[in-house]
Homo-oligomer: A and B are copies of this chain.
Amino acid sequence: MNELKDLLRAVADGAVSVDEAALRLKAAPFADLGFAKVDLHRKVRTGSAEVIYGAGKTAAQINGILDAMLENGQKTVLITRLSAETARAVSAVHPIDYRPEARVGILGPIPKPTGLGKIVVATGGTSDIPVAEEAALTAEVEGSAVVRLYDVGVAGLHRLMGHLDVLMNASVVIAIAGMEGALASVIGGLVDCPVIAVPTSVGYGASLNGLSALLSMLNSCASGVSVVNIDNGFGAGFLANRINHMEAKP
């Protein structure tokens, strides 16, 4: 705002011509981004962790970004889709905590959980665990408490029913499943909190690399269920944490 007023004052003063000011203002809403650091800035302000999407980035690039973040006061950084090989190279510079199953690296301390309650991360099978760990670690690094409920697929309903109390006390449930993806509907019918469904590419043949589970989840006849991309554990964990930190807005 100050920058804008300075310009107008300069016009008022005659220091800047009307034409010149007109030109600069035309571009203003976008060019006056002096406010370009909004992302870093906002994250620091809200206290949540910053995230680096590691796929396709070299260790040098990641280390460069980490340096910049640390300089900006960032305490905890999550690096997703990080290969073991790149993780080793990053570790030579920054002491990240690498979780191979989730392919996630964490720099700095996992914060003490805050928020409205606990996020339950449930999976249909054991093969869905890598996606689930990406979701769980994301939510933890962003500041939520997480309860893991793995291998509770609907084909053995007693496994799910045995943890009904955990589900019913959840603030948010992340339901992760491949193959037929029915877990989201069944959980959606049991709980009254938001359910984030994550289809996984687990399966073969007509699972179509996760497309079947995705379609199934989108068609869920249970209310309160929404869906993210196939294998997108990060997206689910990030959104769950955001919902878990809902506050009144005046």
Contact = CB atoms under 8 A, between A and B. Distances in A.
Given A116-B248, A219-B213, A46 B192 contact: yes
Contacts of A5: 18-19, 22
Q: Which of A18, A38, A221, A223 has the most chain B CB within a 10 Å cutoff?
A: A221
Contacts of A169: 249
A73 interface: no
Contacts of A27: 162, 164-165
Q: Chain A interface: which size bin?
A: 35 or more
**Residue in A116, A155, A204, A228 with the greatest tally of chain B CB atoms within 10 Å:** A155
The oligomer's copy count stands at 8
Interface in A186-214: 186, 188-190, 192-194, 196, 199, 201, 203-214
A197 B5 CA distance: 35
A92 interface: no
A203 to B, nearest CB: 6
A21 B33 contact: no
Given A36-B158, A182-B182, 14 more contacts: A8-B21, A33-B163, A36-B159, A116-B248, A124-B221, A180-B216, A180-B218, A192-B242, A194-B243, A203-B219, A206-B215, A224-B239, A225-B235, A226-B227
Interface of A: 1, 4-5, 8-9, 11-12, 14, 18-19, 21-23, 25-36, 38-39, 42, 46, 51, 55-57, 116-118, 124-127, 153-165, 168-171, 178-182, 184-186, 188-190, 192-194, 196, 199, 201, 203-232, 234-236, 238-239, 242-244, 246-250
